[in-house]
């Protein structure tokens, strides 16, 4: 069994070796400013955006269905008129 006899490089060294001994094994928080958005806020915003997209899509589908229904009614009336003309002849 081989032992590594080299000492571990300091964590703040700019040229730390890429060996298991040279890597940090603990979590170290990054200093530099407050968090801009919390995870909860981002989650709520994401769900709100999805709900808005869903509602807009449903509104568009509803309006399109209403237009298709009106066109279908017009088509049925035209068919009835054509059938009435054929019966008169």
pLDDT value at residue 48? 98
Q: Which tens digit of pLDDT belongs to each residue from 2-39?
A: 555 555 545 555 555 566 666 667 777 777 667 677 88
The CA angle 16-19-22, to the nearest 5 degrees, is: 40
Give the helix/strand (H/E) hosting 1.
none
Give the helix/strand (H/E) hosting 87.
helix 39-88
pLDDT tier for residue 79 given thresholds of 50, 70 and 90: very high
Long-range contacts of 70-74 (CB under 8 A, 24+ apart): none
Q: Are 16 and 22 in contact (CB under 8 A)?
A: yes
Q: Which residue has the higher pLDDT, 78 or 8?
A: 78
pLDDT value at residue 18? 64
Average pLDDT of the chain is: 81
State mean pLDDT over 62-87.
95
């Amino acid at each position: 069994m081989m032992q590594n006899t080299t000492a571990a490089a300091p964590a703040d060294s700019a040229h730390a070796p890429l060996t298991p001994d040279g890597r940090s094994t603990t979590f170290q928080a990054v200093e530099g400013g407050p968090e801009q958005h919390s995870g909860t806020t981002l989650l709520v915003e994401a769900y709100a955006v999805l709900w808005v997209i869903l509602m807009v899509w449903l509104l568009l589908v509803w309006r399109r269905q209403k237009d298709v229904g009106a066109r279908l009614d017009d088509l049925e009336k035209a068919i009835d008129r054509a059938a009435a003309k054929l019966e008169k002849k």
